[in-house]
Amino acid sequence: MPLASYQTSVPVVVDDAKCIADKGCTVCVDVCPLDVLRISDMTGKAYMAYDECWYCMPCEADCPTGAVTVNIPYLLR
Amino acid sequence: MALDQIVDGLSEVSCDVLVIGGGTAGPMAALKAKLKNPKANVVLLEKANVKRSGAISMGMDGLNNAVIPGYATPEQYTKEITIANDGIVDQKAVYKYAQNCYKIVEELDSFGIRFLKNENGDYAVKKVHHIGSYVLPMPNGETVKKALYRQLRRARILISNRYMATRLLKSADGRIAGAISVNTRTAEMLVIKAKAVILCMGAAGRLGLPTSGYMFGTYENAANSGDGYAMAYHAGAALANLECYQINPLIKDYNGPACAYVAGPFGAFTANNEGSRFIECDYWSGQMMLEFYNELLSGKGPVFLQLKHLHPDTISEIETTLHKVERPTRGLFQQGRGVDYRKESIEMHISEIGFCSGHSASGVFVDDNARTTVPGLYAAGDMASVPHNYMLGAFTNGAVAGTDAMEFAENHDFAEFDAADVATERDRVMAPTKREDGIPPNQVEYKTRRLVNDYLQPPKVTRKYELGMRRLAETRHDMQEHMIARNAHELLRALEVQSIMDCADMAVHASLYREESRWGLYHWRTDFPEKDNENWFCHTLLSKQDGKMTSEKRAVEPYVVPIADDEKDLYDKQRIRASA
């Protein structure tokens, strides 16, 4: 059966200007318990690839440059 | 390269002791096994990353069940937990925990984890339970995982992150032989031969569906999808009292703890819409949850955690703790809602259902040495049947499991398993990747968990359970025949759904078997509304026998600590009575 994707606003936001994933950093991707973050092939920066967040915060707490912000996802606000 | 592209591969490694799950119990089990025999190989396998995995990913605010000399005795604690569980407790394991846990507190202290002390330098234990005092705050509780990780590195434990264990391997004579796992980012499979295996895979916390609209907005770390329960079941191990669900009182929508254990000792309390107390004690028991449920439905709800009557300095102190550890996005959530604890009470609600011995009593059956019913297979933490374990129980029983498992490994050689079992499992694991077309894992998961909410949530009605069972069987068919995974990450989710489905089936089976009501809301059967001690003062053990789900009774072991007749129902008296 055909598949479609539907839009969702994701809680984890990465500030590309601060993110150093293009220098080889993978800290946020490494620590995420749900494994939802990835490094973009296009920008070289981290981003939330899968909307499966527990809004737990290791990505934000462990980021060495303060580039990651965890927001409360919209439906919970 | 496409995101999380599937790589075809199968390799094999071996170790003396394999620990599966690197949250709380797992690291301690691995550490104790290695310290017992530093020459042996200990592998710690983790679905996420040991640095930040499990229920204590962001730390913990305190110990909920510490038996500290001078404040409580092992006898008193054992008695309290027995009464809180309506008497269905093998006390030996609880008593052993109560005797050992102080040593573990001191050991954690030596790791650099601090516990609150008073001006005399004694541990500042607080009272939350109905009878005794066991709650000990942790001022630097956010550092727990880092402290554990340091110990693991120092002991040279081999850590394998991002491997999800899927099935256990056994020899023809029923002894444990290892486990099969799959890399969550490449789908490559890894067989790990081991002389002993310890399961520390957490609660089945992704069983019920939160109403928020987020499948991962669960109370438990959403990675805890019940894989350990499913693996133990398929390996033929017995699971105890699964009908004694975990249901918790939580912050509405946010679905994290409110948390009366932290705020209660300072004078906060659970209140109804009239601002009145309605429960005697905030400790999470089934009896307390039933009163909470009744209050919500009585017209006197909503239910709140009330702090606003406290001194502003006290509130600030509580706030700092609650917004720093365990679920630190809580502060952000309250801020977004405009809730200031000084002015407004915190709206609470009831969580989705799950299995968790950490808070209730539903777990893989273990004895006081953390041994399951499969030789060489151990379990500890939230998924093992020692009731009301919490974090300190996970550490303490993890330590017991690690030591005993290494002793087992020293006395046994590798057990031989059948290569055909690996081939069969590889086919099962990879099946969703072989289909061109079908249903994505998130939809199978949503449907399964909605059925859990609609039909399995207490009060348990036999007719609803029978309907639920039918609908779950239909969904299982869809899952087995039509689920697709287009990359390794989707495959991880597809495998988790299969654990969730197994847990849902076990929840139905165990609940229908026990024909009485017990543990307050956890097992309230409307068709059998009374507690029936004559026929059901026993454990129930669920296991796979000849390929079929089977339940049987198991007698409660004779008590180590006797309970007087007038003490037995202390936890039944949770509702505050109107004073004359």
Provide the b/e sequence for B504-536 (b: ≥16 CB within 10 Å): bbbbbbbbbbbebbbbbbbbbbeebeebeeeeb
Contact (Cβ atoms closer than 8 angstroms) between residue B31 and residue B155:
yes
**Domain ranges within chain A, ordered by starting residue:** 12-70
| Beta carbons of A58 and B52 less than 8 Å apart | yes
Q: Taking the domain A12-70, which CATH number applies?
A: 3.30.70.20
d(CA B25, CA B35): 15
Q: What pLDDT score was predicted for residue B282?
A: 87
Question: How many Cβ contacts (< 8 angstroms) between chains A and B?
Answer: 90
What are the structure tokens assigned to B251, written together?
């912050």
Per-residue pLDDT for chain B (580 aa), expressed as one digit of tens each? 688 999 999 999 999 999 999 999 999 999 999 999 999 999 999 999 999 999 999 999 999 999 999 999 999 999 999 999 999 999 999 999 999 999 999 999 999 999 999 999 899 999 988 889 999 999 889 999 999 999 999 999 999 999 999 999 999 999 999 999 999 999 999 999 999 999 999 999 999 999 999 999 999 999 999 999 999 999 999 999 999 999 999 999 999 988 888 898 889 999 999 999 999 888 889 999 999 999 999 999 999 999 999 999 999 999 988 888 889 999 999 999 999 999 999 999 999 999 999 999 999 999 999 999 999 999 999 999 999 999 999 999 999 999 999 999 999 999 999 999 999 999 999 999 999 999 999 999 999 999 999 999 999 999 999 999 999 999 999 999 999 999 999 999 999 999 999 999 999 999 999 999 999 999 999 999 999 999 999 999 999 999 999 999 999 999 999 999 988 888 888 888 765 4
Contact (Cβ atoms closer than 8 angstroms) between residue B36 and residue B402:
yes
The secondary structure of B348-376 as a DSSP string is EEEPPPBB-TTTSS-EE---TT-B-SSTT
For this complex, say whether ipTM is above 0.95. Answer: yes
| Beta carbons of A76 and B489 less than 8 Å apart | no
Q: What pLDDT score was predicted for residue B579?
A: 52
Q: Is the peptide bond before B459 cis (omega within 30 degrees of 0)?
A: yes
Q: Best interface-test mutation with B: which of A1, A26, A31 has the largest number of B CBs within 10 A?
A: A31
Backbone angles phi, psi at A16, to 5 degrees: -55, -30
Contact (Cβ atoms closer than 8 angstroms) between residue B232 and residue B364:
yes
Kindly state whether A72 is in contact with chain B, defined as any CB-CB distance less than 8 angstroms.
yes
Kindly state whether A26 is in contact with chain B, defined as any CB-CB distance less than 8 angstroms.
no
Q: What pLDDT score was predicted for residue B580?
A: 43
| Beta carbons of A35 and B439 less than 8 Å apart | no
pTM: 0.97
Q: Which of B185, B222, B438 sits opposite A54 (nearest CB)?
A: B222
Kindly state whether A32 is in contact with chain B, defined as any CB-CB distance less than 8 angstroms.
yes
Kindly state whether B185 is in contact with chain A, defined as any CB-CB distance less than 8 angstroms.
yes
Using DSSP's 3-state secondary structure scheme, residue B39 falls into coil
Q: Which of B4, B58, B440 sits opposite A56 (nearest CB)?
A: B58
| Beta carbons of B439 and A1 less than 8 Å apart | yes
| Beta carbons of A71 and B492 less than 8 Å apart | no
Nearest CA in chain A to B50: A31
